[in-house]
A and B are shown apart, each in its own frame.
Chain A
Amino acid sequence: MAEKKLMKGNEALAEGAIKAGCRFFAGYPITPQNEVPEYMSWRMPAVGGAFVQAESEVSAINMIYGAAATGVRCMTSSSSPGVSLKQEGLSYCAGADLPLLIANVMRGGPGLGNIAGAQGDYWQATRGGGHGDYRTFVMAPNGVNEMANFPHKCFEVACKYRLPAMVLADGIIGQMMEPVEFTAPEVDPKNLVEPDWALGINNGRAKRIVKSYDLREGYLEKMVLERVKRYKEIEKNEIMYEEKMLEDAEIAMVAYGTSARVSVAAMKLARERGIKVGLFRPITLWPFPKNRLAELSNRIKKFLVVEMSLGQMVEDVQLSINGAAQVNLHAKPGASVMTAEEVYTTLERIVKKGAKEYAVAK
């Protein structure tokens, strides 16, 4: 069994990326993710990798674009406003079919917002974020242990299907300390096969080009459609979710990340008080576990989406369930966290009083 360590979420994420074979990091300071570049600045040289503090988030993502093109596992991290700045570069990475890891340790928005944890970037993360038709593989950790172990899965998927992967965390998970066990396999980059598209020392082979454009009529369409085939494979093979106490549930909460932690506490309260409630936690936000939710809606006729935003993931839940069950929302925007008691009260109104809740919590 691996040794347990007490670590901060952001540091666990950085070490998890290193253990997954990441050997280049470029980033720019922004709260609440600063521990990631800080950790990488000394850890990366210690494992023979490279670290650059970029002059901006824009530059950082373009350093990653260059690094990823050489076939090296690479990572950048930021928080909401900084991730907005990275979107053009991310779109180029997706358009050039490059694998990389980007972490968004979400804070309050829009604009400068504040520096507390929030979940307002769900749409940005799962809808591509930048311009054009593309997808990003998105994983949502619910604690420090998943921060430590998700980078491995992200790199595996990113490299296999050639697309950017994102860890979508929030300031609470980034800043909290918990016991961590690095259970994901450790990757030595020396053992990785150099991809047949990677730029480098060519030793007489034909030249390689990494690019996201094609001006010839019909060719860009072909490029995009080829990518869509890989997206479909990801949707088939890589969906992850967790279910708690859904077997006898009359209502299911749907939540990810910090909201899922609050929902677990609300579930315990509600069960003690006689409400049969369970939790469905999407772990991959794209691909979204829509088929499983649809299955559940055959049996469970009431859902409550709990999220720290105006209500973003709730739209994916509605699309998945497609009218087969009632979808309620407990939303908390502005980097505020709902309490378990508040969520319980919403559950009680829905289950005991037959209310339909679809409102932003006051």
Chain B
Amino acid sequence: MQLLNKRPESLVDVPMHYCPGCGHGIIHRLTAEVMDELNIRERTIGIAPVGCAVFADTYFNCDMIQGPHGRGPAEATGIKRCKPGAIVFSYQGDGDLASIGMAEIVHAAIRSENITVIFVNNAIYGMTGGQMAPTTLIGQKATTCVEGRTAKQAGYPIRMCELLATIDGSTYLERTSVHTAPGVLKTKAALKKAFQTQIDGKGFSMVEILSMCPTNWGTRLDNPSEATKYVNDDMMKVFPLGVYKGEK
């Protein structure tokens, strides 16, 4: 009998708490596969955020730290400067990275910190129950904009890859999605390039991954197939996929 696939060694064998149809589980697995393939598990230090992925410290089978909301890139900076031989990644959601942690992500890129950021953009605050995120689309409903986000009241969704691409210190930036099988494969390739950028000492890398949140996207999208359609038909119009910095 031939073993075709197995749990990556970089992932701990425990049940995950993520909701049905959520992208975090896929993204965890892809990250773990990349760590295995690059043979970096034993020198990787990961940072779990505040938000849905808070328990990432349990799921990844490498040294992990969980810290304050939005400060992952600052923690990563302290770790990397003290342990330059370690591979350091910060795993963050959109509220974490693009709202409360906007200063930390921008300045980590400005310093070209040799770290990798995995940015999961599902356009909503998941853990706290579906409030408007900085990436929430115009018209998208959330518990703090029940009739849908309006530009007049709450401004516009922020495009982080485009923003960070203007900074000289950012080395590799790509936006992918995990709503289709090809998207999953492209996401894995992007994560591998991002970690390789760090291994090669080339500076700041980030992969922004569009992901689904059927639980908090409201009843219209309250099933995985509708949610993946929303990524395809709505999110990707506002957040176009592609490489924003570095080799395509």
Binding site for B on A (CB under 8 A): 23-24, 26, 50, 52, 54-56, 58-60, 62-70, 72, 74, 88-89, 92, 96, 199-204, 207-213
20 extra A-B contacts, CB within 8 A, seeds A24-B82, A70-B82, A199-B64:
A24-B81, A26-B78, A50-B81, A52-B111, A54-B107, A58-B74, A59-B103, A63-B74, A65-B67, A65-B75, A66-B47, A66-B67, A67-B78, A88-B68, A199-B83, A202-B43, A207-B12, A209-B57, A210-B64, A211-B66
Kindly identify which residue among B74, B86, B104 contacts A200, using a CB–CB cutoff of 8 Å: B86
Roughly how many angstroms separate A200 CA and B74 CA in the complex, as a whole number? 17
Q: Which residue of B lies closest to A23 (CB)?
A: B82
Q: Which residues of A contact B104 (CB under 8 A)?
A: 55, 59, 62
Q: What's the Cα separation between A210 and B46 when bound, in Å?
A: 10
Contacts of B64 in A (CB 8 A): 199, 207-211
Q: Check if B78 sits within 8 Å of A63, measured CB to CB.
A: yes
What are the 9 tightest A-B residue pairs by CB atom distance, in nearest-first order?
A: A66-B78, A66-B75, A67-B78, A62-B74, A63-B78, A62-B71, A55-B107, A50-B81, A211-B66
Interface presence of B13 (CB below 8 A): no
Q: Judge whether A89 and B82 touch: CB under 8 Å.
A: no
Query: Bound complex: CA of A56 vs CA of B76, how far in Å?
Result: 15
When distances are taken between beta carbons in the complex, the residues of chain B under 8 Å from A50 are 81-82
Q: With A and B bound together, what is the CA distance between A164 and B60 in angstroms? A: 28
- Report which of A52, A208, A209 forms a contact with B77, defined as CB distance below 8 A: A52
Q: How far is the CB of A189 from chain B (nearest CB, A)?
A: 10
B91 → A minimal CB distance (Å) = 14
Q: Note all chain B residues with C-beta closer than 8 A to A211.
A: 48, 57, 64-66
- The interface bits of chain B over 35-69 (1 if a CB of A lies within 8 angstroms of the residue's CB, else 0) are 00000001101011000001001101111111110
CB of B78 to closest CB in A, whole Å: 3
Contacts of B43 in A (CB 8 A): 201-202
Residue in B61, B67, B82, B83 whose CB lies within 8 Å of A62: B67
Tell whether, in the assembled complex, residue A199 and residue B65 are in contact, meaning their CB atoms are under 8 Å apart: yes
A212 CB to nearest chain B CB (Å):
7
B79 within 8 A of A: yes
List the B side residues contacting A92 at CB < 8 Å. Answer: 67-68
B182 within 8 A of A: no
Per-position 1/0 for B144-185, Cβ under 8 A of A? 000000000000000000000000000000000000000000
27 of the cross-chain contacts (CB-CB < 8 Å) are A24-B78, A50-B81, A54-B107, A55-B103, A58-B71, A59-B103, A59-B107, A62-B74, A62-B104, A63-B74, A66-B74, A66-B75, A67-B79, A69-B78, A70-B78, A70-B79, A74-B78, A199-B45, A200-B45, A200-B63, A204-B42, A207-B60, A209-B57, A209-B64, A211-B48, A211-B57, A213-B66
> Which of B12, B58, B63 interacts with A202 by CB under 8 Å?
B63
Which of A55, A59, A88, A213 is B54 in contact with, Cβ under 8 Å? A213
Complex Cα spacing A63 to B57, Å:
18
Contact of A67 (CB < 8 Å), options: B54, B81, B107: B81
The CA of A68 and the CA of B79, in the complex, are separated in Å by 8
Assess the A208–B42 pair: CB atoms within 8 A.
no
Min CB–CB distance B54 → chain A (angstroms): 7
Distance in angstroms between the alpha carbons of A187 and B186 in the assembled complex: 49
CA distance A209 to B68 in the complex (A): 15
For B182-195 the 0/1 string (1 means CB < 8 A from A) is 00000000000000
Residues of B within 8 A of A204 (CB): 42
Question: Is there an interface contact between B42 and A201, defined as CB atoms closer than 8 Å?
Answer: yes
Q: Is A210 a contact of B65 with CB atoms below 8 Å?
A: yes
> B57: which A residues are within 8 A, CB to CB?
209, 211
Question: Nearest Cβ in chain B — how far from A134, in angstroms?
Answer: 15
Residues of B within 8 A of A52 (CB): 77-78, 81, 111
Q: Which residues of B contact A23 (CB under 8 A)?
A: 82
Q: Which residues of A contact B61 (CB under 8 A)?
A: 207
Give Cα A290 to B60, complex, Å: 46
The answer to the question of B85 belonging to the interface, with a C-beta cut-off of 8 Å to chain A, is: yes
Residues of B within 8 A of A199 (CB): 45, 63-65, 79, 83, 86
A89 in complex: contacting residue of B60, B68, B79, CB < 8 Å: B68
Task: Give Cα distance in the complex from A212 to B85, angstroms.
Answer: 25
Complex contact A56–B103 (CB within 8 A):
yes
A62 touching B66, Cβ below 8 Å: no
| Chain A, Cβ-Cβ closest to B55 | A215
* Chain A residues with CB below 8 A from B45, complex form: 70, 199-200
Q: Which has the most chain B C-beta neighbours within 10 Å: A96, A200, A207?
A: A207
Q: How far is the CA of A52 from the CA of B79 in the complex (A)?
A: 12
What residues of A have a CB within 8 angstroms of the CB of B110 in the complex? 55
Question: A residues within 8 A CB of B66?
Answer: 209-213
Contacts of A213 in B (CB 8 A): 54, 66
B180 to chain A, nearest CB (A): 32
Task: Give chain A nearest CB distance to B61 CB in angstroms.
Answer: 6
Q: How far is the CB of B52 from chain A (nearest CB, A)?
A: 13
Bound CA–CA A58/B68 (angstroms): 10
B75 and A63 within 8 A (CB): yes
